[in-house]
Structure 1
Amino acid sequence: MLLITNSAPTHASLGTLNGIAQTLSAAGRSVGPFISGGLFTLSTHVQPRGEALAWGLFAGVALAGWLLSFAIHGEGLESTDDGYEEETETDEHEEDRSGA
């Protein structure tokens, strides 16, 4: 959702993009349990070690999503903050007052 919000070309299209993202997310949450339940039921009929079918498929989907996440790049999507804060003027004045 954050990537969609940050990638909106204009503020006018942000509502439309959010609506589409929420709809797709809700569709995935409503269909997901049906598909996973069906897959687990199917895996009980596979012998031997049918549970590897469901777990292997879920692991493959998770791995594919993780690998595809490395391809997400864009202007303004990545922080340029290196985690360090530079010394500000107020820090210098506090040192002068303390006698250092």
Structure 2
Amino acid sequence: GGPCSGLSEYPNATISDYGSISGTDAMMKEIYSRGPISCGIDANPLLNYESGVIKDAGAGVDHVISVVGWGKDAQEGSYWIVRNSWGEFWGEMGYVRVAFGA
């Protein structure tokens, strides 16, 4: 704790590396070796999401999310674990599970 004060200088954030990948295997390898990846998606299938695995494919790209991992459900199949930016009260504590290929 303590009093708040303004910064006299702002630290610079820099990007040291970026690239483009596609395909399930390449995405898994990148997440495993370097951590979450950013992806552009269509947000429309997410608008009414509450829980479960989304299987609806979007039509375009209008939103950016972070893919943080993957899993497999006995009934739903393989899915990506995705962190959204809409807060922890949305979806599964701010996350959504998206079926591979959706």
Shorter-chain TM-score bucket reads under 0.3
Larger radius of gyration: 1
| Structure with the higher fraction of residues in helix conformation | 1
TM-score using structure 2 length: 0.20
